[in-house]
Amino acid sequence: MDVGKRVRELREQKGISTNKLANLSGISQSYLRDIELGDKNPTVEVISYICGALNITLQDFFTEQNVEKISPFLLSALRELTEQEQDRLAEFISAVSKRK
């Protein structure tokens, strides 16, 4: 996961400036900018400060957005599959994707 990209993405979704997020997080604006640009790798503690300022959990931060787009029905059906069935389904999806 590109942490800097994720921070920027979440900040922009919330409509917060870099300066405001830095102030709310208790970190410097230049450090936040470096994180977003990928020049600095924040600790989990710093990410938790950013998450607090964005009013999200660490789990929300590390959850890929594409998972949220999957229908509840499909997620429920996937949970019912055995590990072997999930592997077969993944192989099928991979094969179909390669045809495109």
Task: List the chain domain ranges.
Answer: 3-65, 70-99
Q: Which residue has the tokens 């997020």?
A: 21
Which tokens in the block code for residue 80?
């019912």
State how far the Cα of 7 lies from the Cα of 34, in Å rounded to an integer. Answer: 11
List of E strands, 1-99: none
Look at residues 8, 58, 72 and name the one whose alpha carbon lies nearest to residue 34.
Answer: 8
Tell me phi and psi for residue 85, to 5 degrees.
-65, -35
Q: What is the pLDDT of residue 86?
A: 86
Q: Decide if 22 contacts 28 (C-beta within 8 A).
A: yes
pLDDT digits (tens, 9 = 90+) for 42-88: 999 999 999 999 999 888 898 865 545 667 787 788 888 888 998 89
Q: CATH topology for 3-65?
A: 434 Repressor (Amino-terminal Domain) (1.10.260)
Q: What is the pLDDT of residue 64?
A: 63
The fraction of the chain above a pLDDT of 70, given in percent, is: 91
Q: What is the pLDDT of residue 1?
A: 80
**Over 70: is that where the pLDDT of 8 sits?**
yes
pLDDT digits (tens, 9 = 90+) for 25-55: 999 999 999 999 999 999 999 999 999 999 9
